[in-house]
Structure 1
Amino acid sequence: MSIATVSRYINKTAPVSKDVAESIQASMDELDFIPNSAARKLAKNEYNTIGLLLSDVKGDFFSVLVSEIEKDAREAGFDLLISINRDGNKMNGANSFPIGPQNTDGMIIFADCASDNDLKYFYFNRYPVVLICRTAPPEINMPSVGVENFNASLNIVRHLIEIHNRRKIVFLRGLATHEDSLTRELGYKSALSEKNISYNPALVADGNFERECAYQSIKKIINKKISFDAVFASDDEAAIGAMAALADECIVIPGEVSLVSFDDQPIAPFLNPPLTTVRAPFGQVGGKAVEILLKLINHQSVDKITVIPSELIIRHSCGC
């Protein structure tokens, strides 16, 4: 009896005669043979596992994102395999990185953790990928999920100008390689232009989504005696650093300087003063990314770009 015939019987891929089936089953019973489902999936390149490529896992932002992705993957019957690319090194082909087509059915990639060439490699090799907090190169039809950044940033800067009469607004930008950071800066610039306020590059500094970087940037602006009456931090971590720098210089928030931000991390309402910020629902982003990835794995069509609405949360740090 051929191996192919035994395989057809065990995997139910094609019918076999009654006599052959009984013979194979008798041999299996005699040998106490149990089909290995994991081996079958491996042979078919089916792992019931999705990958998640991140730049970090520290902080509330990543905690919320990973928690939602893991929960939704588990509920769909998939394990989650996470890899961290902290130093920004890009993959050079799927098999050079710990996760990819060799051990997962598809992958969610955060921001700039993979280069455009990496994404093209995956796309042209028909490996399912969903991007979060970035969009794909225009020549490939790879889906992405993110929050609304431009209008949210535009509106929070409008709020500072229209409601609190702030006109010398510092912007603490995020990482230069992050699409979210660049889009938030465009929103900031557009709000200034709309209100006929000249853009002043001296009021734009690095925040890099980090407390320490934002702290040092605000200290430098103060030490240079550059006048400002508000700070828009590109995320809550940078806002916390800015808040500490202002406190060190005995600058009162919001009496002397308004402070606003982006993300609405769980700590935001408990800061002193409570932080006015844009609520960016990254839990929903993670859940939607899993939903889209599972559709890709099952060869279903999906939208190329999905944008989750953001919401301005007014608290006291702006002056309200």
Structure 2
Amino acid sequence: MAGGRPNLVGLIFPAIGDPFMSELLEGIETKLVEEGYDLLLYSSQRQRKSPRFLPLNEHNSDGLIVFANSLSDAELARFHRLNFPLVLLHRSPPEGLDIPCVTVENKKGARTAVKHLIDHGYKNIAFLAGLESHEDAKWREIGYREELARHNIPFRPELVAYGGFSAETAKAAVENWLFEGIKIDAIFAADDNSAQGAMYTLQRAGKRIPEDVAVIGFDDIAFARYMNPPLTTIRMPIKEVGRHAAIQLIKLMKGEKVDSLTLLPTDLIIRDSCGKD
């Protein structure tokens, strides 16, 4: 490495403060420390608002772990041309670039969530979609649609609203459904943050969970079990995702063979917001 400062790895991610990112960071850092690497962090939020020189690069780190929506395809291609070690989290590499990726079974997890709702008699199942540019969000919506189709339940566009992986955005979406009088007996949220916003809005409107409207999230971040009622959700092995990203990057930096795709399983965690008998 330039400057003779070895054993530094960079993590580029969208924003600080999300509970999801805290768990992911723990998984990455634990493995890196075990292998003798220090971790440098950079939030790309400011980079997107005002493009400038990237502080984490080939001059001050041995390799980078890059979260979805954190670097442009052009910047990833530049690193790839330099043969600089990169691992992507929750996104595929740009076409033609052989960059390893670590993610989870998003579509399968979404189908499991919707099947759970249908098995409990729910038919008017709304979906709070995630960020439009995020691959996880895309696969979760595909899973939602496919499971409805498998059970011969017609897809209704009015039951899909933008939740944006955000409690505040989800609150506005659910308020609109209630205002419009759209019949909903269950909500599948693309992440636990939007599930939290949905539950808050439903309860403020006098709706009981799950008696009037059931709610399922995705991720199983730490506070999901402490919601009122505790949230049924699809557990993503967040720390394991981080650990596997670190493992793949360490192999790359050592010149070892790596997997082009690491796909980790998801599991249904049943709590009181739906399906706990």
Q: Shared topology, TM-score over 0.5?
A: yes
Q: 1:87 to 1:186 in 2, by over 3 A?
A: farther
User: RMSD over aligned Cα, in angstroms?
Assistant: 1.6
Give the 5 Å matches for 1:1-320: 42-43=2-3, 47-86=6-45, 89=48, 96-162=53-119, 164-320=120-276
* Contact 1:90-1:115 at 8 Å conserved across structures: no
Matched residue pairs, number? Answer: 276
CA shift for structure 1 position 225: 0.8
The secondary structure found in structure 2 opposite 1:96 is: coil
Pick the structure with greater CA Rg: 1
Unaligned runs of 5+ in 2: none
The secondary structure found in structure 1 opposite 2:48 is: coil
**Residue identity matched to 1:54:** F
1:12-64 deviations in whole A, cap 9, x for unaligned? Answer: xxxxxxxxxxxxxxxxxxxxxxxxxxxxx6445x5310000011121321111
Query: Using the alignment, how far apart are the partners of 1:292 and 1:238 within structure 2?
Result: 31
TM-score by length of 1: 0.83
Runs of 4+ in structure 1 off by over 3 angstroms are 41-44
**Residue identity matched to 1:137:** P
Bigger shift: residues 181-190 or 115-124: 115-124
1:111-137 deviations in whole A, cap 9, x for unaligned? Answer: 111122221111111011000111112
Aligned residues with identical type, % of pairs:
39
**Residue identity matched to 2:16:** V
Bigger shift: residues 70-79 or 193-202: 70-79
Query: Using the alignment, how far apart are the partners of 2:50 and 2:79 within structure 1?
Result: 11
* Contact 2:2-2:59 at 8 Å conserved across structures: no
CA shift for structure 1 position 91: 10
1:193-248 deviations in whole A, cap 9, x for unaligned? Answer: 11111111111111111111111110011101111110001111111100000011
CA shift for structure 1 position 301: 0.9
**Residue identity matched to 2:74:** N
